[in-house]
């Protein structure tokens, strides 16, 4: 059996890709999209290249995912090319195994296309496609070996998945998907501010950053509601 001491991990989310070698303590977070700006029309910004944009207002998104599933392969391939390049998080897949995440109940055609790209385009010697929830369950079981059950709540960009695991196996009949994610919250914030103050419906990038900087999950919902009424 081949012994592997380091693995390249790509958590391929609909809005951000989290990528790094397994030995690293924290992943690098890359926007999983291509953006175009009004101020620099000729240059596409791939991934975190958007940080080089002088004017973030009116950014136009090209996203590889729709409703949580990969549909735009041209955009995704360009983002992957950048991520795996020496300018970002270089990966030599002829020597390093690759783990890449995929959504629950992914379409077989998407799975086949993904495997084909990684084996033929990136010359992977070893590839594992896996649900992010499976990795969460693995981590939990490693820290709590006596626990028989685990409930994973995966809140993403387009949806939230609730998946039960029993004795390290996911109970597929119990998996539920709610079409609420970070995108819904960003759109709601845009509508609230546009209605009350100024029009920001075209400022998705800016308002998403506002949401991440200023919003938080209430630890005591009723207490927070009382504060909001004051």
Using the 8-state DSSP alphabet, how is residue 27 labeled? Answer: P
| Residues 162-208 pLDDT 10s | 999 999 899 999 999 999 999 999 999 999 999 988 899 988 889 99
Q: How confident is residue 61, by pLDDT bands cut at 50, 70 and 90?
A: confident
Written as six digits, the tokens of 32 are 């999983």
pLDDT score of 6: 87
Please answer whether residues 141 and 168 qualify as being in contact, where contact means their C-beta atoms are separated by less than 8 angstroms: yes
- Segment 4-16 mean pLDDT: 91
Answer yes or no: is 70 within a domain. Answer: yes
CA–CA distances in Å: residue 175 to residues 165, 171, 178, 216: 9, 7, 10, 26
pLDDT score of 2: 54
Number of domains in the chain: 1
Average pLDDT value over all residues in the chain: 92
- Segment 124-128 mean pLDDT: 94
How far apart are the C-alpha atoms of 35 and 4, rounded to whole Å? 37
76: domain CATH number is 3.30.420.40
Domain containing 19 equals 8-146
87: left (phi over 0), alpha (psi -120 to 50) or beta: alpha
Please answer whether residues 140 and 150 qualify as being in contact, where contact means their C-beta atoms are separated by less than 8 angstroms: yes
pLDDT score of 3: 59
pLDDT score of 1: 47
Answer yes or no: is 85 within a domain. Answer: yes
Please answer whether residues 40 and 49 qualify as being in contact, where contact means their C-beta atoms are separated by less than 8 angstroms: no
All residues at 6 or more sequence positions from 179 whose CB lies less than 8 Å from its CB, including other chains: 67, 158, 159
All residues at 6 or more sequence positions from 151 whose CB lies less than 8 Å from its CB, including other chains: 162, 163, 164, 165
Please answer whether residues 90 and 122 qualify as being in contact, where contact means their C-beta atoms are separated by less than 8 angstroms: no
Answer yes or no: is 167 within a domain. Answer: no
Q: Which helix (H) or strand (E) holds 62?
A: strand 60-62
Answer yes or no: is 157 within a domain. Answer: no
Q: How confident is residue 58, by pLDDT bands cut at 50, 70 and 90?
A: confident
- pTM equals 0.89
Answer yes or no: is 198 within a domain. Answer: no
| Residues 87-123 pLDDT 10s | 999 988 988 999 999 999 999 999 999 999 999 999 9
Q: How confident is residue 55, by pLDDT bands cut at 50, 70 and 90?
A: confident
Q: Is the pLDDT of residue 32 over 80?
A: yes
Answer yes or no: is 229 within a domain. Answer: no
Answer yes or no: is 180 within a domain. Answer: no
Q: How confident is residue 5, by pLDDT bands cut at 50, 70 and 90?
A: confident
Please answer whether residues 104 and 74 qualify as being in contact, where contact means their C-beta atoms are separated by less than 8 angstroms: no
Q: How confident is residue 38, by pLDDT bands cut at 50, 70 and 90?
A: confident
Q: Dihedrals φ, ψ of 29, to 5°?
A: -105, 120
The closest alpha carbon to 165, from 129, 130, 128, 140, belongs to 140
Answer yes or no: is 173 within a domain. Answer: no
């Amino acid at each position: 059996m081949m012994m592997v001491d380091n693995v390249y991990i790509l958590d391929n989310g609909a809005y951000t890709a989290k990528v790094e070698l397994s030995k690293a303590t924290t992943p690098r977070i890359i926007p999983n999209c291509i953006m175009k700006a009004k101020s620099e029309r000729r240059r596409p910004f791939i991934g975190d290249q958007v940080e080089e944009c002088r004017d973030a207002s009116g950014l136009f998104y090209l996203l590889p995912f729709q409703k949580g599933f990969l549909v735009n392969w041209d955009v995704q391939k360009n983002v992957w090319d950048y991520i795996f390049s020496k300018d970002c998080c270089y990966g030599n897949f002829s020597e390093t195994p690759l783990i890449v995440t995929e959504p629950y109940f992914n379409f077989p055609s998407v799975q086949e296309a993904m495997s084909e790209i990684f084996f033929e385009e990136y010359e992977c010697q070893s590839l594992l496609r896996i649900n992010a929830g499976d990795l969460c369950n693995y981590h939990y079981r490693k820290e709590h070996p006596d626990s028989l059950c685990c409930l994973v709540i995966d809140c993403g960009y387009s949806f939230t998945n609730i998946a039960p695991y029993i004795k390290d196996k996911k109970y597929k009949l119990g998996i539920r998907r709610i079409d609420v994610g970070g995108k819904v919250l960003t759109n709601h914030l845009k509508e609230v501010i546009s209605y009350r103050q100024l029009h920001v419906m075209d400022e998705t990038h800016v308002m998403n950053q506002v949401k991440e900087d200023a919003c938080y999950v209430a630890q005591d919902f009723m207490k927070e509601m009382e504060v909001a009424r004051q």
